[in-house]
Structure 1
């Protein structure tokens, strides 16, 4: 008959809670899993399952659960889990920002749609890019890769390692990368629209009697839609390139890498 010592059961519960808080915060911040589309109970159950798998293979120091220091440890795990999930949020928002910038360049900024995941109204092209990157993220097993990085984070950020501001400041600097890549995606469309506007301006100057502005708006819109259709063929390659840059950043800046 299986007998459980109360002290052993208490130690097992304590050792499980700290990884569970980090993993739970990770899934709260991870796109798709942390959105309104996923039930909170399902998210907690999945975090519980991952914590059960991860806990036996990591080192957890002994701490008194009835002490202020344990509360600090819980806060530490919540922050680290949120930071790990926020890295992929930046990747998703990169494409959302690119879609919004492209919509303004194409004259489609007025076309808004409701985002059911976040409960806000965004540009339709931004929502389109978000849907595409979500499918690419799941289709290429990006969520499984990030769970592996989460498990490896217990080696880079061990429990009780404390708060090092430099690690979190590096995440803030990643925001500049997001704006850079979003502008890089939109740059071909922006240059093409600029050339079209200059061409219509020359025609309007040469023939003032023509109503160029009434003709220019639908032409630019049709050209922009054609551009999005052409870009659709290379969307997966663009996503994989940026996802690889994110993982390389985690390896080079944080030192987190996978064995395989």
Structure 2
């Protein structure tokens, strides 16, 4: 009769549980995988499938998942997964924020649509940028690159009670500044052009007080904003690709801490 001891059960559980925590935490916040249009069942099924593939290749610690050391390891895997997904999510948020700033300058802040990634209302220009960068991310195989980094990370950043150090966590905080710098890069040309237009209308209204500024200024600002949006698409895409490359390079640096 086959007899299985409690220690063997804990070892088998640890072999699959900690990889499941890291992968699941990453998919909870990573772009595309954490989108509202991806059902939770699909996300869990994908996490389980990856865990089954990765678990035999992972060297699990000898600590029990139910011990104090096991709780520390679980917290470390949760933090690692969330960090990897958060870095790439900031790239998407930077473009979305830039679109929102441009929409406010065009007078389209009231034109809200449902964001399929976050399930919240965002300006139409911001959602347009979100959909565009999502399709670009999928076309470039960004989702596959993220999975590759996750799988390779179990060899370079193994399961252990020591995971991300303070310096790495601080570098993630500094990386958050790219959210604002990327948004400024995307929105600055359009905002500057629309600012010049608004200044021109201000001068015209001072010279001719009877001039109906709202009736003429809003359509002109809207049309000019759409033209700027069309002309600036190549620059926006280049900014997204640069941020995406830096994001993947940063995630690889995080997952290769043991090789530094």
Range of TM-score over shorter length: 0.7 to 0.9
Residues 96 and 129 of structure 1 are in contact (CA less than 8 Å); yes or no, is this contact kept in structure 2?
yes
Superposed displacement of residue 40, structure 1: 1.7
Structure 1 residue runs of 4 or more that deviate by more than 6 Å after TM superposition: none
Once residues 230 and 4 of structure 1 are traced to their aligned partners in structure 2, the CA distance between those partners, rounded to angstroms, is 70
Once residues 52 and 238 of structure 1 are traced to their aligned partners in structure 2, the CA distance between those partners, rounded to angstroms, is 37
SS at match of 1:122: strand
Superposed displacement of residue 10, structure 1: 4.8
Once residues 199 and 143 of structure 1 are traced to their aligned partners in structure 2, the CA distance between those partners, rounded to angstroms, is 46
- Residue 224 of structure 1 corresponds to 225
Once residues 67 and 174 of structure 1 are traced to their aligned partners in structure 2, the CA distance between those partners, rounded to angstroms, is 34
Once residues 189 and 238 of structure 2 are traced to their aligned partners in structure 1, the CA distance between those partners, rounded to angstroms, is 17
TM-score, L = length of structure 2: 0.87
Once residues 255 and 38 of structure 2 are traced to their aligned partners in structure 1, the CA distance between those partners, rounded to angstroms, is 31
Structure 2, gaps ≥5 residues long: none
- Residue 22 of structure 2 corresponds to 22
* Alignment size in residue pairs: 254
Structure 1, gaps ≥5 residues long: none
Superposed displacement of residue 220, structure 1: 0.7
Once residues 164 and 226 of structure 2 are traced to their aligned partners in structure 1, the CA distance between those partners, rounded to angstroms, is 47
Once residues 4 and 52 of structure 1 are traced to their aligned partners in structure 2, the CA distance between those partners, rounded to angstroms, is 24
Deviation per residue, 1:11-53 (Å, 9 max, x gap): 3332121111101111111122123322222211111111222
SS at match of 1:147: helix
- Residue 75 of structure 1 corresponds to 75
Once residues 15 and 225 of structure 2 are traced to their aligned partners in structure 1, the CA distance between those partners, rounded to angstroms, is 55
More displaced 10-residue stretch of structure 1: 164-173 or 103-112: 164-173
Question: Greater relative contact order (Cα 8 A, min sep 6): structure 1 or 2?
Answer: 2
Q: Cα gap change, 1:26/1:250 in structure 2, threshold over 3 Å: closer, same or farther?
A: closer
Residues 1-260 of structure 1 mapped to structure 2, 5 A cutoff: 10-160=10-160, 161-251=162-252, 254=254, 256=256
TM-score, L = length of structure 1: 0.87
More displaced 10-residue stretch of structure 1: 63-72 or 221-230: 63-72
Superposed CA RMSD: 2.4
